[in-house]
A and B are shown apart, each in its own frame.
Chain A
Amino acid sequence: MDRSDEASRSQRAETRVPDPALVLRIVNRDELALAEVYDRYGSLVYAVALRVLRDGPAAEEVLQDTFHRLWSIAARFDPARGSLPAWLAVTARHRAIDYLRQRRPAGESEAVAVEIHLPFDLEEQISRNGLMDHVRGALGRLPDAQRNLVELAYFQGMTHTELARSTGEPLGTVKTRLRAALASLRKELAEILRPSKK
């Protein structure tokens, strides 16, 4: 808020070990590095799982499972190509939806294929909290019907056929609304996504 806050935040940013360095330490089986990543992003992963599952104990299971997954595949995670918080969030969402639908977790190849192309300084944006406000703003500006569909699709893991059944709308309308919503989001979030292009 004031200058002293800003100064302490920038000092914190300087002393913070970057995510890729932590991933490398995890590759070297450093349990403290995993603990540090957990301290950094555990609340984010838990929030995603809780949002999907709406059940504390189930979300705790997904939380633990997501970080265990990172521990298991760290050597295959490419920090230069993917953002760690984005990978964790997407993995948590996949696992939570699998849990919700009582499916077995996705196979290794599919999970590893999740390389999220975002700006490399995403971790810094998260720590500033500006990114989340930006995304929430973009979602909030969607028309209600579109936003509801995106949230149902994203956090309940419904396919477009299931969405049509759930909302009582024709399949074509559901698809059109979803595409319009995603096009708006792409436009709104372009300035965040653009620096990721190499």
Chain B
Amino acid sequence: MNEHLQFAEDLDLLAFGLLEPPETAALRAHLELCAECRARFEEAQGIAALISLSTPAAQPPAHVRAALLERISAESARPGHSAAPAHDAAAPRPSPKSQNFWTRPFLGWAVAAAAILIGLAVTIPQNRRSQDELAALRSQVAAKQDELDRTRAVLDLLRSTDALRVHLVSSTAPWPWPEGKVYYQPKNGLLFVASHLPPLDPGKAYQLWLVPESGNPASAGIFEPDAKGNAMLMSHKAPMPMKPRTFAVTIEPEGGAPGPTGPQVMVGEQ
């Protein structure tokens, strides 16, 4: 308790970044161990954030947005994938001869008739193509609607006051340690996000497990991390009706296993 009193009044100063490095280190070490002080520190951070928000908005130049999006696009782009230029300055210009073509009447009419025939020949497949494109668009709209429904379900899960939130950590992996977070509610399903996952060997997959107080673990699904080691898993159906006590991620054969058999990557308890 005395320790709390000793630290409490410095928590505001820490949140504002006002302490000197040795004081900061001591207080941060205490925060690691003390949930009460951590809660107060987080509130102080909230006050600090509000002061940031008090700054009158200023409109940044448009080129920053463009540069940002270009930067992330460049990072995401695969080798060999590039956008076509909007204008091709090197494109050949029509020759003077072709510009005079329509001044020759008979040839002109003949070509016009041929053009109509060619046009008809082109239009019929084009109509078919338009129908295909329409079907593709309908499919895209349905996919977007599906995505929206999924996003709504996830939001319900995140906003739910009784959803279980569990932090999964690794006790064995080298730095940077894999970690993840599970949001779980029997009614709305499950969302799992993870980072710093090591790449998998061929033929392997990560699998998330829900472990009840008693009984067998239930699989929540398999997943693979992206190139940066991030992964996300969503399930709209809860793998088990009750809230599990423990969540764990193991490495299993590709396609998943009926029960955990491989090495444990991270684990978290509520």
Contacts and interface: CB of A to CB of B under 8 A. Distances in A.
Given A21-B155, A80-B183, A131-B53, A47 B65 contact: no
Contact of A97 (B12, B17, B64, B232): B17
B157 to A, nearest CB: 9
B81 interface: no
Given A21-B155, A51-B55, A182-B16, A31 B76 contact: yes
B58 A50 contact: yes
B73 interface: yes
Nearest to B11: A182
Contacts of A135: 50-51, 53-54
B165 to A, nearest CB: 7
| Main SS at interface, chain A | helix
B64 A178 contact: no
B19 interface: yes
A27 B71 CA distance: 17
B230 A75 contact: yes
B48 A154 contact: yes
B161 interface: yes
A24 B154 contact: yes
Interface string B40-61: 0011111111111111111111
Interface in B139-167: 151, 154-155, 158-159, 161, 163, 165
B52 A192 contact: no
Interface in B67-92: 67-69, 71-73, 76
A10 interface: no
Contact of A38 (B20, B65, B179, B226): B65
Contact of A43 (B17, B60, B181): B60
B165 A80 contact: yes
B43 A193 contact: yes
A86 B154 contact: no
A172 interface: no
16 contacts: A24-B232, A34-B68, A34-B69, A42-B60, A47-B57, A60-B60, A75-B193, A75-B194, A116-B42, A136-B54, A150-B51, A157-B17, A175-B13, A186-B12, A186-B43, A189-B47
Lowest 8 CB-CB distances: which A-B pairs, in order?
A89-B52, A86-B49, A46-B60, A135-B54, A75-B230, A43-B57, A182-B12, A47-B58
Given A18-B155, A75-B194, A196-B43, 7 more contacts: A20-B158, A24-B154, A68-B68, A80-B165, A80-B183, A89-B53, A154-B52
